[in-house]
Structure 1
Amino acid sequence: MQAATVLIVEQDVLVRHPLAEYLRECGYRVVEATDHDEARECLEGGRYSIDAALIDVGGPTGSGFALSAWIRGNHPTVKTMLGATVGKVLALAGDLCDEGPQAGKRLNYRPVLDHIRQLLASRKRP
Protein backbone atom coordinates (compact mmCIF):
# COMPACT_ATOMS: atom_id res chain seq x y z
CA MET A 1 0.00 0.00 0.00
CA GLN A 2 1.25 3.44 -0.93
CA ALA A 3 1.98 5.93 1.86
CA ALA A 4 -0.51 8.75 2.33
CA THR A 5 0.52 12.24 1.23
CA VAL A 6 0.12 15.13 3.66
CA LEU A 7 0.19 18.77 2.56
CA ILE A 8 1.54 21.18 5.20
CA VAL A 9 0.55 24.83 4.65
CA GLU A 10 2.69 27.01 6.92
CA GLN A 11 4.68 30.16 6.17
CA ASP A 12 7.20 29.73 8.99
CA VAL A 13 9.91 27.31 7.82
CA LEU A 14 11.01 26.77 11.45
CA VAL A 15 7.57 25.30 12.15
CA ARG A 16 6.87 23.64 8.82
CA HIS A 17 10.16 21.82 8.26
CA PRO A 18 10.46 19.97 11.61
CA LEU A 19 6.84 18.84 11.36
CA ALA A 20 7.41 17.70 7.77
CA GLU A 21 10.51 15.75 8.76
CA TYR A 22 8.69 14.11 11.65
CA LEU A 23 5.85 12.98 9.39
CA ARG A 24 8.34 11.68 6.81
CA GLU A 25 10.05 9.64 9.53
CA CYS A 26 6.60 8.18 10.31
CA GLY A 27 6.27 6.99 6.72
CA TYR A 28 4.18 9.74 5.14
CA ARG A 29 4.98 11.56 1.94
CA VAL A 30 4.92 15.28 2.67
CA VAL A 31 4.36 18.26 0.40
CA GLU A 32 5.18 21.68 1.84
CA ALA A 33 3.49 24.95 0.88
CA THR A 34 4.36 28.36 2.28
CA ASP A 35 0.99 29.95 1.58
CA HIS A 36 -2.51 29.30 0.36
CA ASP A 37 -1.70 30.05 -3.27
CA GLU A 38 1.05 27.40 -3.25
CA ALA A 39 -1.33 24.98 -1.55
CA ARG A 40 -3.92 25.45 -4.29
CA GLU A 41 -1.23 24.87 -6.93
CA CYS A 42 -0.22 21.63 -5.20
CA LEU A 43 -3.83 20.46 -5.18
CA GLU A 44 -4.76 21.60 -8.68
CA GLY A 45 -1.53 20.88 -10.56
CA GLY A 46 -1.99 17.13 -10.76
CA ARG A 47 1.58 16.53 -9.61
CA TYR A 48 0.53 15.32 -6.17
CA SER A 49 -2.26 13.15 -4.86
CA ILE A 50 -2.93 14.81 -1.50
CA ASP A 51 -4.73 12.79 1.17
CA ALA A 52 -4.71 15.26 4.06
CA ALA A 53 -3.83 18.94 4.60
CA LEU A 54 -2.52 20.60 7.75
CA ILE A 55 -3.31 24.30 7.44
CA ASP A 56 -2.18 27.30 9.48
CA VAL A 57 -5.28 29.23 10.59
CA GLY A 58 -3.70 32.53 9.54
CA GLY A 59 -1.26 33.07 6.76
CA PRO A 60 -0.07 35.81 4.45
CA THR A 61 -2.58 35.09 1.68
CA GLY A 62 -5.78 34.47 3.61
CA SER A 63 -7.60 32.60 6.30
CA GLY A 64 -6.94 28.92 6.89
CA PHE A 65 -10.70 28.55 7.31
CA ALA A 66 -11.22 29.85 3.77
CA LEU A 67 -8.59 27.48 2.37
CA SER A 68 -10.13 24.57 4.24
CA ALA A 69 -13.57 25.42 2.82
CA TRP A 70 -12.08 25.70 -0.67
CA ILE A 71 -10.45 22.28 -0.31
CA ARG A 72 -13.71 20.70 0.90
CA GLY A 73 -15.56 22.22 -2.06
CA ASN A 74 -12.98 21.37 -4.72
CA HIS A 75 -11.22 18.29 -3.32
CA PRO A 76 -13.75 16.61 -1.02
CA THR A 77 -11.64 13.48 -0.47
CA VAL A 78 -8.82 15.53 1.11
CA LYS A 79 -9.10 15.66 4.90
CA THR A 80 -8.20 19.01 6.48
CA MET A 81 -6.90 20.02 9.90
CA LEU A 82 -6.46 23.61 11.06
CA GLY A 83 -3.88 24.78 13.57
CA ALA A 84 -2.01 27.83 14.76
CA THR A 85 1.74 28.15 14.42
CA VAL A 86 3.87 27.66 17.49
CA GLY A 87 5.21 31.19 17.11
CA LYS A 88 1.73 32.69 17.26
CA VAL A 89 0.79 30.57 20.25
CA LEU A 90 4.01 31.52 22.06
CA ALA A 91 3.46 35.20 21.35
CA LEU A 92 -0.07 34.99 22.77
CA ALA A 93 1.21 33.06 25.78
CA GLY A 94 3.79 35.78 26.37
CA ASP A 95 1.00 38.21 27.01
CA LEU A 96 -0.27 35.99 29.82
CA CYS A 97 2.90 35.43 31.84
CA ASP A 98 5.58 37.65 33.32
CA GLU A 99 8.58 35.65 32.09
CA GLY A 100 7.34 35.43 28.50
CA PRO A 101 7.17 32.37 26.30
CA GLN A 102 9.75 29.61 26.69
CA ALA A 103 10.40 28.20 23.23
CA GLY A 104 13.24 25.92 24.32
CA LYS A 105 11.01 22.93 24.99
CA ARG A 106 10.93 20.10 22.45
CA LEU A 107 7.72 20.04 20.44
CA ASN A 108 5.50 16.99 20.65
CA TYR A 109 4.06 16.15 17.23
CA ARG A 110 2.47 12.89 18.38
CA PRO A 111 -1.04 14.41 18.71
CA VAL A 112 -0.76 15.71 15.14
CA LEU A 113 0.31 12.28 13.89
CA ASP A 114 -2.55 10.59 15.76
CA HIS A 115 -5.05 13.06 14.30
CA ILE A 116 -3.76 12.52 10.75
CA ARG A 117 -4.14 8.78 11.19
CA GLN A 118 -7.73 9.25 12.41
CA LEU A 119 -8.57 11.54 9.49
CA LEU A 120 -7.13 9.15 6.94
CA ALA A 121 -8.81 6.14 8.52
CA SER A 122 -12.21 7.85 8.23
CA ARG A 123 -11.63 9.01 4.65
CA LYS A 124 -13.70 7.43 1.94
CA ARG A 125 -11.75 6.76 -1.25
CA PRO A 126 -13.56 7.41 -4.58
Structure 2
Amino acid sequence: MPQTSQPLLVVEDDDIVRMLTVEVLEELGYQVLEAADAHTALVVLQNTQQSLALMLTDVGLPDMNGKDLAVKARELRPELPVLFASGYGDVDIPLGMHQITKPFSIDQLRDKVQGILQAI
Protein backbone atom coordinates (compact mmCIF):
# COMPACT_ATOMS: atom_id res chain seq x y z
CA MET A 1 0.00 0.00 0.00
CA PRO A 2 1.48 3.37 -0.98
CA GLN A 3 2.71 5.65 1.80
CA THR A 4 1.96 8.78 -0.21
CA SER A 5 -0.76 10.40 -2.24
CA GLN A 6 1.87 12.49 -4.05
CA PRO A 7 2.95 11.22 -7.45
CA LEU A 8 6.29 9.66 -8.27
CA LEU A 9 8.29 10.96 -11.24
CA VAL A 10 9.81 8.27 -13.47
CA VAL A 11 12.56 9.49 -15.83
CA GLU A 12 13.59 6.82 -18.34
CA ASP A 13 14.54 7.20 -22.00
CA ASP A 14 13.76 3.59 -22.97
CA ASP A 15 10.05 3.63 -23.80
CA ILE A 16 9.46 -0.03 -22.90
CA VAL A 17 11.34 0.16 -19.58
CA ARG A 18 9.52 3.41 -18.69
CA MET A 19 6.12 1.94 -19.62
CA LEU A 20 6.73 -1.21 -17.56
CA THR A 21 8.05 0.73 -14.55
CA VAL A 22 5.09 3.11 -14.62
CA GLU A 23 2.66 0.20 -15.00
CA VAL A 24 4.16 -1.65 -12.03
CA LEU A 25 4.11 1.45 -9.81
CA GLU A 26 0.51 2.21 -10.78
CA GLU A 27 -0.48 -1.39 -10.02
CA LEU A 28 1.11 -0.90 -6.60
CA GLY A 29 -1.24 2.06 -6.10
CA TYR A 30 1.07 5.00 -6.83
CA GLN A 31 0.26 7.97 -9.02
CA VAL A 32 3.03 8.32 -11.59
CA LEU A 33 4.27 11.12 -13.82
CA GLU A 34 6.68 10.15 -16.55
CA ALA A 35 9.44 11.81 -18.54
CA ALA A 36 11.45 10.39 -21.43
CA ASP A 37 14.39 12.74 -20.87
CA ALA A 38 15.95 15.14 -18.39
CA HIS A 39 14.52 18.23 -20.10
CA THR A 40 10.95 16.97 -19.65
CA ALA A 41 11.72 15.98 -16.06
CA LEU A 42 13.06 19.48 -15.31
CA VAL A 43 9.82 21.02 -16.61
CA VAL A 44 7.91 18.89 -14.08
CA LEU A 45 10.41 19.66 -11.30
CA GLN A 46 10.21 23.43 -11.96
CA ASN A 47 6.40 23.39 -11.64
CA THR A 48 6.03 24.28 -7.97
CA GLN A 49 2.30 23.53 -8.15
CA GLN A 50 3.13 19.85 -8.75
CA SER A 51 4.02 17.96 -5.58
CA LEU A 52 6.27 14.91 -5.87
CA ALA A 53 7.06 12.12 -3.42
CA LEU A 54 10.10 10.68 -5.22
CA MET A 55 12.01 10.79 -8.50
CA LEU A 56 13.18 7.52 -10.03
CA THR A 57 15.69 8.22 -12.80
CA ASP A 58 17.83 6.26 -15.18
CA VAL A 59 21.52 7.10 -14.85
CA GLY A 60 22.10 7.17 -18.61
CA LEU A 61 19.78 9.69 -20.25
CA PRO A 62 20.26 11.04 -23.80
CA ASP A 63 20.29 14.74 -22.93
CA MET A 64 21.84 14.80 -19.45
CA ASN A 65 23.49 12.39 -17.04
CA GLY A 66 20.97 11.17 -14.44
CA LYS A 67 23.30 12.26 -11.64
CA ASP A 68 23.37 15.81 -13.03
CA LEU A 69 19.57 15.71 -13.24
CA ALA A 70 19.41 14.62 -9.59
CA VAL A 71 21.64 17.50 -8.52
CA LYS A 72 19.39 19.97 -10.39
CA ALA A 73 16.31 18.30 -8.91
CA ARG A 74 17.70 18.77 -5.39
CA GLU A 75 18.45 22.43 -6.13
CA LEU A 76 14.78 22.87 -7.03
CA ARG A 77 13.40 20.50 -4.38
CA PRO A 78 15.96 19.95 -1.61
CA GLU A 79 13.90 17.29 0.20
CA LEU A 80 13.00 15.19 -2.88
CA PRO A 81 14.14 11.56 -2.53
CA VAL A 82 15.96 10.30 -5.61
CA LEU A 83 16.23 6.67 -6.70
CA PHE A 84 18.65 5.81 -9.50
CA ALA A 85 17.98 2.83 -11.75
CA SER A 86 21.11 1.54 -13.46
CA GLY A 87 22.04 -1.50 -15.46
CA TYR A 88 25.71 -0.96 -14.63
CA GLY A 89 25.72 -2.31 -11.08
CA ASP A 90 26.93 -0.03 -8.34
CA VAL A 91 27.19 3.53 -9.61
CA ASP A 92 28.78 6.37 -7.68
CA ILE A 93 25.65 8.24 -6.67
CA PRO A 94 25.37 11.49 -4.73
CA LEU A 95 25.19 11.26 -0.95
CA GLY A 96 21.71 10.72 0.44
CA MET A 97 20.32 9.22 -2.77
CA HIS A 98 19.35 5.62 -3.48
CA GLN A 99 19.98 3.01 -6.16
CA ILE A 100 18.32 -0.04 -7.67
CA THR A 101 20.03 -2.24 -10.26
CA LYS A 102 18.31 -3.11 -13.55
CA PRO A 103 16.78 -5.45 -14.27
CA PHE A 104 14.79 -5.36 -11.05
CA SER A 105 11.78 -7.40 -10.02
CA ILE A 106 8.41 -5.97 -9.08
CA ASP A 107 9.10 -6.95 -5.47
CA GLN A 108 12.52 -5.25 -5.48
CA LEU A 109 11.02 -2.04 -6.89
CA ARG A 110 8.13 -2.11 -4.41
CA ASP A 111 10.40 -2.73 -1.44
CA LYS A 112 12.91 -0.06 -2.47
CA VAL A 113 10.25 2.63 -3.08
CA GLN A 114 8.39 1.78 0.13
CA GLY A 115 11.62 1.83 2.14
CA ILE A 116 12.57 5.26 0.81
CA LEU A 117 9.12 6.74 1.39
CA GLN A 118 8.89 5.29 4.92
CA ALA A 119 12.20 6.90 5.82
CA ILE A 120 10.96 10.40 4.97
TM-score, normalised via structure 1 length:
0.74
1:115 to 106, 109, 112: 112
Ranges of 4+ aligned residues in structure 1 off by more than 3 Å: none
Q: How far apart in 2 are the matches of 1:15 and 1:115?
A: 17
Kept in 2: contact 1:52–1:78 (CA 8 A): yes
Q: Aligned-residue CA RMSD in angstroms?
A: 2.2
Moved more, 68-77 or 1-10: 1-10
Counterpart in the other structure of 2:19 = 17
Counterpart in the other structure of 1:92 = none
What does the per-residue CA deviation read over 1:1-28, in whole Å, with 9 as the maximum and x for residues that have no partner? 8623110000111000111011001110
Between the two proteins, the alignment pairs up a number of residues equal to 105
**Which entry has the higher C-alpha Rg, 1 or 2?**
1
Mark the CA change 1:47 to 1:17 in structure 2 (over 3 Å): closer, same or farther.
farther
Correspondence 1:59 to 2:75: no
Q: How far apart in 2 are the matches of 1:73 and 1:45?
A: 13
Counterpart in the other structure of 2:100 = none
Counterpart in the other structure of 1:83 = 85
Gaps of 5+ in 1: 90-105
One-letter code of the match for 1:57?
Answer: V
One-letter code of the match for 2:109?
Answer: V
Kept in 2: contact 1:10–1:59 (CA 8 A): yes
Counterpart in the other structure of 2:76 = 74
Mark the CA change 1:107 to 1:70 in structure 2 (over 3 Å): closer, same or farther.
closer
Mark the CA change 1:16 to 1:60 in structure 2 (over 3 Å): closer, same or farther.
same
Q: How far apart in 2 are the matches of 1:49 and 1:43?
A: 9
Counterpart in the other structure of 2:41 = 39
SS at match of 1:81: strand
TM-score, normalised via structure 2 length:
0.77
